[in-house]
Chain A
Amino acid sequence: MGNPNVGKSVVFSRLTGANVIASNYPGTTVDFSKGNMRIDGKRVEIIDAPGTYSLEPTNKAEEAASKMLKKADVLINVVDATNLERNLYLTLQLLERNIPVIIALNLWDETHHLGIHINEKELETLLGVPIVPTVALTGEGIKTLVSRIKDAKINEKIKPTSEEGRWVEIGSIIGKVEQVEHRHHTFRDKISDLTIRPHTGIPIAIGIIFCAFWFVRLIGENLIEYIFDPIFENLYLPIVMRLSEWLGPGIAHTILIGEYGVEIDFFESLGILTTGLYVPIAAVLPYIVAFYFTLSILEDTGYLPRLATLVDKIFHKLGMHGHGIVPLFLGLGCNVPGALSTRTLETRKQRFISATLLAICVPCMAQMAMIFGALGTYGLYYIGLVFLTLTILYIVIGLILNRFIKGESPEIFLEIPPYRRPSLKATFKKTWMRIRWFLKEAIPYLFVGVLIINVLYVIGILQWFGNAVSPVMEGLFGLPGDASIALITGFLRKDLAVGMLITLNMAPLQLVIAVTMLTIYFPCVATFAVLIKELGIKDMLKSAAIMVGVAIIVGFLLRIILLGA
C-alpha cells in the first residue's frame, strides 16, 4: 500500500513477476491485482492496491484500498522518498493498525538529483519497522526488501492519535532524518512550467495531440501496407486457396472460408479463417500496436495530469473535471479499461457522465482502425466527418447531462507528478502486455461472431430480419436494411461490424452515417458487462436508453444533413 504514483505497481511486478500496468500519474491502478512469490520456500500472496493518501477514502479506488487493509497479514508500505513528509501520514495511519509493516523507500534514485538526503537508518529507529531504499524501476534494493519482509513488525509504541498529532510527529521525524539542498530551476522544471501554463501549454497540447494522432496513423498504415498485408496476401492467401479447393463447396467451406466459388476477399468473405483472422490481426493489430506505444509514452512521461489541468474547465462544464481525460484516452484504445478508470472520479454523477459519454462518443482503436480502412480510400474528409460528429456529441451530451443529472461534480484536485524519462524497456513491456490482452480478448469474440453470423445466415434469420427492418433503416437513416445486421453484430465486436458494413457497397456518405451510428448506439458486450458492474443495473439502463435515443436522433439528422431529405 502507499500514496498514489509512488511505484507500488512496479514494486509488485518486481516481487511477483506478474505484469501490471504502471504509469506516471496518480490513479493508474483502480483494482487489486494478486500475484504469488516465494519467501524462504513458502508461497505467499502479494496484492497490489490502488494508491491512497489516507485511510479516509475520497473515491471508489481509494475505498477499495482501505477495505483490503483488513485482510492483510503484512503490509508493504511503498513510500515516495522524494516526498517523505506527505507520504509518512499514511505510514503513521498504517502503523496505528497493529499489522506488521515494512517500508520500501522507493524512487531512491530521484532523491539524489533532487538534492534530498535521507538518513534511512535513523528513520528505521524512529519508526521501529524495517526500511529498505529501493529503485523499483531498475530492481535495486528489491532483493533486500524480500529478505527483510519476515522482519516486518508492529510498532507497539505508536498509538492512534488525531490528525494534528500525526503531523506533529511527522514534523519531528522529518527534522531528524531529512536534509534538502537548495535547488536551482532545472530544464525539467522549465518544461513542466511551459506545458502547464495556458498561453504556452494550450498550443503545445494541441501540437502533441495532433502529432500523436498523426504518429499512430503513420505507424499503423505502414505496418499494414508493408508488413501485414504482404504476409496475408502472399503467404497466407495461397494456403487458404488450397484449403478451399480441398474442402469443396459445403457448410464447412462457408463457415471457415466463405461462400464457395466467390473470390476470397479478406474483408468480405466472412469465414473464420479469412475475415475472422484478417480483421483482428492484419487490419486492427497494427493500429493497436501504434496506439498503445504512443499512449505509453504519454502516460510514462507524466504528461496526462498536465493535459487534465489544461482541459479541466471544459470538462467541468460537462459535469466532470480534468481527470475525465483519462477514461477518454484509455477508452480510445479499448472502452473496457476506459470504463474501469472512471472509478477515479469522485461522485456518481461524474462517473455516470464519463461512462455514458465514453460508450456513446469514443470509438475504440479496433473500430477506428476499421473506419480508417473503410473510409480512408475515399479521403480524409469522410473520416473527419465521423470524428467531428462524435466530438460535437461529446460536448453537447456532456452539457445536457451536466444539467439534468442530479448530484455534485466536485472540482479537480490532482497531483502533478514530475516529468520522467520513459524507460524504453518499460514502454515496450507495457505495449506488449496490452497487445497480448487485445489478442486474447478480440480473437475469440471474432471467431464466435463470424460463426454465429454464418449460422444465422444459413438458417435465414438474418435475411429475414434485414428485410423486416429495411423500411425503418431506409426511411429514417437512408441505409440499406442489411446495415441493421452489422449494427447487431456490433454488440459482439465493432471492428467486425464495420467489416460487414464494407461488404454492403454503400456510398461513402452512407458509410459515414452507418459507422457513426454503430459507434453511438451501444457499447460492445465486453464494455457493457464492465459498465453494469461499475454503474449498477439501474444507471446502466438509463445510460443505455440515452445511447439508443442519441443514435436514432443523430442517424436521422446526419441523413438529412448529408444525404438530403
Chain B
Amino acid sequence: MPLSHLPINKKARIASIHGGYGFQRKLGVMGIREKQEIKIVSKQPFHGPLTIEVCGSQMTLGRGMAQKITVEVVQ
C-alpha cells in the first residue's frame, strides 16, 4: 500500500519508491530506501505532511512524496 495509507505507529518495510532518479536519490541520502523499516509518527490534517521514522531519525515529508512510496506491513 502507499505509505500515506499506513496507520500511525505501525511498522512497515519500504517495498518500492516511484519517481525519477533525482527524487530517489534525495530520499535515499536521508535513509528512505527499499527494504528499510519505516513507521509513521504523525499525519497532519487536510492532506498535510507526514512525519516518519526511518533509520533511527525522524523527518517530515509532503503527502505527494509519500504517495510515491509503497510499503508492506511487517508483523
Interface residues of A (CB under 8 A from B): 53-54, 56, 58, 82-83, 85-86, 89-90, 163, 167, 180, 192-193, 196-198, 201, 305, 308-310, 312-313, 316, 321-322, 410-416
Among A163, A312, A415, contact of B28 (Cβ-Cβ < 8 Å): A163
Bound-complex Cα distance A58 to B33 (A): 18
Bound-complex Cα distance A197 to B49 (A): 11
3 A-B pairs with least C-beta separation? A411-B62, A313-B48, A416-B58
- Asked if B41 and A312 make an inter-chain contact with CB atoms under 8 angstroms apart, the answer reads no
B30 at interface, CB cutoff 8 A: yes
Using Cβ atoms and an 8 Å threshold, which residues of chain B touch A308? 60
Residue of B nearest to A53 (CB): B29
Using Cβ atoms and an 8 Å threshold, which residues of chain B touch A197? 41-42
- Asked if B28 and A416 make an inter-chain contact with CB atoms under 8 angstroms apart, the answer reads no
Using Cβ atoms and an 8 Å threshold, which residues of chain A touch B55? 83, 85-86
Using Cβ atoms and an 8 Å threshold, which residues of chain B touch A83? 55-57
Using Cβ atoms and an 8 Å threshold, which residues of chain B touch A416? 51, 57-60
B75 at interface, CB cutoff 8 A: no
- Asked if A415 and B58 make an inter-chain contact with CB atoms under 8 angstroms apart, the answer reads yes
Bound-complex Cα distance A163 to B30 (A): 13
Mark B39-58 against chain A: 1 for CB-CB distance below 8 A, else 0.
Answer: 00111111111010001111
Among A201, A412, A415, contact of B30 (Cβ-Cβ < 8 Å): A415
Among B31, B41, B46, B51, contact of A313 (Cβ-Cβ < 8 Å): B46
B25 at interface, CB cutoff 8 A: yes
B1 at interface, CB cutoff 8 A: no
Bound-complex Cα distance A415 to B31 (A): 11
Using Cβ atoms and an 8 Å threshold, which residues of chain A touch B62? 312, 316, 321, 410-413
Using Cβ atoms and an 8 Å threshold, which residues of chain B touch A412? 49, 60-62
Residue of B nearest to A310 (CB): B44
Q: How far is the CB of B24 from chain A (nearest CB, A)?
A: 9
Q: How far is the CB of A332 from chain B (nearest CB, A)?
A: 23
Using Cβ atoms and an 8 Å threshold, which residues of chain B touch A411? 49, 61-65
Bound-complex Cα distance A10 to B63 (A): 34
Bound-complex Cα distance A193 to B41 (A): 7
Using Cβ atoms and an 8 Å threshold, which residues of chain B touch A58? 26
Bound-complex Cα distance A157 to B75 (A): 41
Using Cβ atoms and an 8 Å threshold, which residues of chain A touch B42? 193, 196-198, 201, 309
Using Cβ atoms and an 8 Å threshold, which residues of chain A touch B25? 54, 56, 163
Interface residues of B (CB under 8 A from A): 22, 25-26, 28-31, 33, 41-49, 51, 55-65
Q: How far is the CB of A16 from chain B (nearest CB, A)?
A: 28
Q: How far is the CB of B74 from chain A (nearest CB, A)?
A: 16
- Asked if B49 and A312 make an inter-chain contact with CB atoms under 8 angstroms apart, the answer reads yes
Q: How far is the CB of A196 from chain B (nearest CB, A)?
A: 5
Q: How far is the CB of A243 from chain B (nearest CB, A)?
A: 58
Among B43, B46, B48, B59, contact of A415 (Cβ-Cβ < 8 Å): B59
Residue of A nearest to B48 (CB): A313
Residue of B nearest to A26 (CB): B59
- Asked if A313 and B47 make an inter-chain contact with CB atoms under 8 angstroms apart, the answer reads yes
What are 13 contact pairs spanning A and B, CB under 8 A? A54-B29, A83-B56, A90-B29, A192-B58, A198-B42, A309-B49, A312-B44, A412-B60, A413-B30, A413-B59, A413-B61, A414-B60, A416-B58
- Asked if A413 and B60 make an inter-chain contact with CB atoms under 8 angstroms apart, the answer reads yes
With A56-B25, A413-B65 known as contacts, the answer to whether A198 contacts B44 (CB < 8 A) is: yes
Q: How far is the CB of B26 from chain A (nearest CB, A)?
A: 6
- With contacts A412-B49, A413-B59, A416-B59 known, what are 14 further pairs, Cβ within 8 A? A86-B55, A89-B29, A167-B28, A192-B58, A197-B42, A198-B42, A198-B44, A198-B45, A309-B44, A312-B48, A313-B47, A411-B49, A413-B65, A416-B51
- Asked if B60 and A309 make an inter-chain contact with CB atoms under 8 angstroms apart, the answer reads yes
Bound-complex Cα distance A316 to B29 (A): 24
Residue of A nearest to B46 (CB): A313
Bound-complex Cα distance A85 to B30 (A): 10
Q: How far is the CB of B49 from chain A (nearest CB, A)?
A: 5
- Name, among B51, B55, B60, the residue most crowded by chain A CB atoms within 10 Å (CB to CB): B60
Residue of B nearest to A82 (CB): B56
Using Cβ atoms and an 8 Å threshold, which residues of chain A touch B29? 53-54, 86, 89-90
Using Cβ atoms and an 8 Å threshold, which residues of chain A touch B45? 198, 313
Using Cβ atoms and an 8 Å threshold, which residues of chain B touch A198? 42-45, 48
- Asked if A167 and B59 make an inter-chain contact with CB atoms under 8 angstroms apart, the answer reads no
Residue of A nearest to B21 (CB): A163
With A305-B60, A415-B59 known as contacts, the answer to whether A86 contacts B30 (CB < 8 A) is: yes
